[in-house]
Each structure stands twice: as C-alpha cells, then as structure tokens.
Amino acid sequence: VTSAAPSLEDQARQFANELAELLEAVLPDAPPVVAELLADRVVVAPADAVPLSVQGERLASLEVHIRCRLDSRGTWLAIDQSAYKLRLDADSTPLLRLEYVRDAHTAPSAHIQVHAQRGALSHLLSRSGHPAPHDMSKLHLPVGGARFRPCLEDLLQLLIVECRVDALEGWMEAVVAGRARWRATQARAVTRDFPREAADVLRQMGYEVISPGNEADGAGRATDNW
Amino acid sequence: VVRVHEVTREELLARRETILARLGTSEAELRDRSRRGSLVGDEDALLDELRDIAYLLGE
C-alpha cells in the first residue's frame, strides 16, 4: 500500500459506512453493516438480511454480500464480487438476483437472474437443447459488464417504486446521492478504458487536453467483457 | 451502524464447520444442489455465508 492510500481497514470502514448510511436512509429497520478483513480481502454485508415490508407488514428481505480486495497495485479497495438477492420470507428460493463476478468465465460478469417460469421461454430453450429449459434463473441476463452495471441504489429504487416496499421519508435523496457517487467512480474507470475517446469529448467541450504519447490501446479493458 | 473487524483463518474454518454441521452436508454437495435448484429452507442464504468465508480464505 502506498503512503497516499488509506489502510485497508480504513477503506473497508469507509465502504461499510457508505453502505450503512444508504440502507439506514432508505429502508426501515436496516441492520448494522459488518466488514470482515483477512489479509488483502474484505467482505462487507449487513449483519442480517435487510427486512422489506409493505404497509408495515414484513414480507421479504434483501440480502447483500460485497466481496472486495486491494487492486493489482495493492492500493485501493475494488469490488471483486457482489450479490444482491431479493427473497420472499415465505419462500427459500430467491425471486431475483443481481450479481457481479469480476473474473467470470462464461456467464456475463454483471447479470440478473430471475427465478420464474414462462411456458414460451421454456419452449424456446427446450427446442434449442438447453439443459434446464424450465428454469429461467439459469439465464444470466447481462446488465452492462463491470463498468455499466446497475448499482445497489438502482435495485433499491426498483423495490420502492415498482415493488412498492416501504421506504423512509427522504429515501430518494440518499439513492440519488449514492448513485451519483457510483457513476462518478465508474466514469473515471471508463475514462481509463477509453482515454482517446475521453480526450476527444473533452476537446469538443473546449478543454485543452495534451496526450502523454503513451495512451493505452485499450487491450484488456474491463469493457471488453460482457 | 458499522462494525469492522479482522478475522483469523481459524475463526473462519470453525464458522464454516459450524454451518456445515448444522446443515448436515458438505459444501460441495450444497453447491451441487444449488446448481440443480434444490436448496431448501435457509440453505441458499447459508451458502452465501460459505461463499463469503471461502472468499476471505482466498479459495
């Protein structure tokens, strides 16, 4: 770790604080957030599933697991894997999963799995020889890869606006602020993936941009993965 | 509210053992049944805890 970067523990604490502040500002009865560290790895998760209620009645829960480690330079904490699961309390099978696995091999690195059934889809998968044609959750619906994937704030907004779960007053401000932070971070990463394109846009906007002459050719950038 | 703490390898191994003893199965069998969509009760949630443990252990 360079002297400029906060320690792993400090970064883990800051990350856990941001998650706790988001959940506490958006959902009633949000549990505390725990960050556990071993060597260069950190798991950040609420101590229990986050309860979801509708008009005061507890019906479902949201499970959040975020697994991070220091980046390749050993400096900054980066998300390796995340798993957000929506689950009805009366049913052990998740309803919906939004997952990210940075080094996924076959499935899209960022994907949604819907635990549902539809006859027409089963028919298609059955005809195409899919090994589990009746199980829609076996499809990993790609959602933008490492850089453009949705954030937890997007999922919380879906739960509140479309699923109509109970939320705290002022939840929207917390979601908008968190999402802005997320997208700014992602924009920096995308700029590193596409320096030439970023420089072109900045020049069109009137900025003076000087090339260092050693721009990356984009090989191996995170946006190459689905 | 946030709690941050360093865990030890031994602590994680003991936690894993407790979870598996409670479920009466192995992690491999649990993962296999997860692939087949046949987990019941809180097995799926506990499998996520096992994944957290495996991740911290660098497995």
3-state secondary structure chain A: CCCCCCCHHHHHHHHHHHHHHHHHHHCCCCCCEEEEEECCEEEEEECCCEEEEECCEEEEEEEEEEEEEECCCCCCEEEEEEEEEEEECCCCCEEEEEEEECCCCCCCCEEEEECCCCHHHHHHHHHCCCCCCCCHHHCCEECCHHHHCCCHHHHHHHHHHHCCCCCCCCHHHHHHHHHHHHHHHHHHHHHHHCHHHHHHHHHHCCCCCCCCCCCCCCCCCHHHCC
Residues 6+ apart with CB under 8 A from A213: none
Q: To the nearest whole angstrom, how far is the Cα of B31 from the nearest Cα of chain A?
A: 14
- 10-residue averages of pLDDT along chain B (59 residues): 95 97 94 89 93 97
Q: Is any Cβ of chain B less than 8 angstroms from the Cβ of A17?
A: yes
pLDDT score of A192: 86
pLDDT score of B1: 86
pLDDT score of A213: 79
Mutant choice from A69, A85, A92 vs B, greatest count of B C-beta within 10 A: A92
pLDDT single digits (tens) A19-43: 999 999 999 999 999 999 999 999 9
Residue A123 banded pLDDT, cuts 50, 70, 90: very high
Contact (Cβ atoms closer than 8 angstroms) between residue A213 and residue A136: no
pLDDT score of B38: 86
Cα(A10)–Cα(A65) distance, rounded to whole angstroms? 19
The complex's ipTM? Answer: 0.94
A154 is written with which tokens? 């997007």
Residue A177 banded pLDDT, cuts 50, 70, 90: very high
pLDDT score of A81: 97
pLDDT score of A172: 98
pLDDT score of A92: 83
Cα(A41)–Cα(A60) distance, rounded to whole angstroms? 30
Residue A69 banded pLDDT, cuts 50, 70, 90: very high
Mean pLDDT of chain A: 93
Q: Across the strands, what pairs with A189?
A: none
- Which residue among A9, A39, A92 sits closest to B4, beta carbon to beta carbon? A9
Contact (Cβ atoms closer than 8 angstroms) between residue A63 and residue B45: yes
Q: What percent of chain A stands above pLDDT 90?
A: 81
pLDDT single digits (tens) A125-173: 999 999 999 999 999 999 999 999 999 999 999 999 999 999 999 999 9
- Which residue among B6, B8, B39 sits closest to A92, beta carbon to beta carbon? B39
pTM of the model: 0.93
Contacts of A47 in chain B (CB under 8 A): 3
A120 is written with which tokens? 């027409």
With CA atoms as reference, the chain A residue closest to B35 would be A138
Coil, strand or helix: which one is B5? strand
pLDDT score of A1: 43
Report the sign of the C-alpha dihedral through residues A182, A186, A187, A189, in that order: positive
Whether the pLDDT of residue A215 is over 70: the answer is: no
Buried b (16+ CB within 10 A) or exposed e, A23-56: bbbbbbebbebbbbbbeebbbbbbeebbbbbeee
Other CB atoms within 10 A of residue A122 CB: 16
Other CB atoms within 10 A of residue A64 CB: 20
